[in-house]
Amino acid sequence: MNYVYEGLDPTGEIEAKLLADKAFPLVRELRFKYNLQAVAEGQQGFILCNGTGINVARVYYDQGEEQFCYYSTFYQKDRGSDSADRRTLRSKKLSLLMANIKKNGVIPTEEFILLQHNCITNHYRYAVQEVIDAVGSSKKNQALSAEDGQALLEIVLDGKDSNSLAGEMKNKFKQILDNYHEKDNIKVKQDEAVNKFFNPCYMVSVDKRGQFVVGIVKQHNKSKTGENELNKYNIVKPFKRVTNLEDYPELLSCMTMLKVYSEEKFKNEEVEYYGGFVPKFNGKYIADLDMVISSDYIDGSIDFTSLWVLTPCLSQS
């Protein structure tokens, strides 16, 4: 049984250290019961991801307290001395720690993390909103006063002649209607832009270690009401953690263009690049490249800090 995620430990160095570490019995249990595997040796202990490559925990053995420790990015206790303490479950006995992890549902399913948890889905929502906003606003403002509404109701319901409206009021109603038609047209363009960008698109996480988690998603099918659920998606190609993008030539090309574009665009700024390609921004839509960059923050550590990139996947269209 491999305890390190496939492709991340070609020399066997990580696994050798893991097998010799006092935290290994915990890693072994987590691998067997939850399919968690190591991705790297962390600032403290080892970083574990689930089958999709998403980092979910840091595990280590506290020598001073002689305790197995599980630091979770998806669970917090109600009480603790600080955020790190609330995220950490500890026990001198491995069996008790594993029982506590199970009892409290500390490790969510892969499906829940990818499709329902805000730490992932928020990046998709952000990208959708950025693409929509770039088209323009389709919001219709309430432009009629009570008197205006009454005048229209008298025509529609009481059969009053529309010619009874003053010319000034007619012009006002026409302007409002023209504006509403314009907003309708913008809404159509917004839907077209979302459909073009997200059907399907790459959804990529890259961390400070230069590892990528790559998946392909597609806008969710229409709901029972017939409305597009713009903030939801289906997974077209399973997510996978990789050290390079050789198996994704189209994505590699997009990332290379992003690096060239960013180096020219921000040549007078000091910009940090993740994975050698992605400039660190809190959030940015680069319309020239059809790319959205979204930032992630859990605890600020190298172990759980990443950037997300979403861009159309033309090869799967």
Domain boundary at 161, 181, 196, which?
Answer: 196
Both 241 and 277 in a single domain?
Answer: yes
Residue 206 has pLDDT above 70, yes or no: yes
Domain count, the chain: 3
57: in domain: yes
- pLDDT number for residue 153: 65
By the 8 A CB rule, do 27 and 56 touch? no
**pLDDT tens digits, one per residue of 131-183:** 999 999 999 887 777 877 677 767 766 767 766 667 667 777 788 888 889 99
Both 213 and 285 in a single domain?
Answer: yes
| Residue 172 DSSP symbol | H
Query: For residue 83, what are the domain limits?
Result: 13-108
Both 29 and 97 in a single domain?
Answer: yes
Both 312 and 203 in a single domain?
Answer: yes
- pLDDT number for residue 317: 64
267: in domain: yes
- Hey, is 254 helix, strand or coil? helix
1: in domain: no
69 Cβ partners below 8 Å, 6+ apart? Answer: 23, 45, 59, 60, 61, 62, 88, 89, 90
**pLDDT tens digits, one per residue of 18-38:** 999 999 999 999 999 999 999
Cα 314 to Cα 109, 278, 287, 290, 301: the distances in Å are 30, 20, 16, 12, 34
Both 163 and 254 in a single domain?
Answer: no
What is the average pLDDT across 235-245? 96
What is the average pLDDT across 57-74? 95
Both 186 and 207 in a single domain?
Answer: no
121: in domain: no
- pLDDT number for residue 234: 94
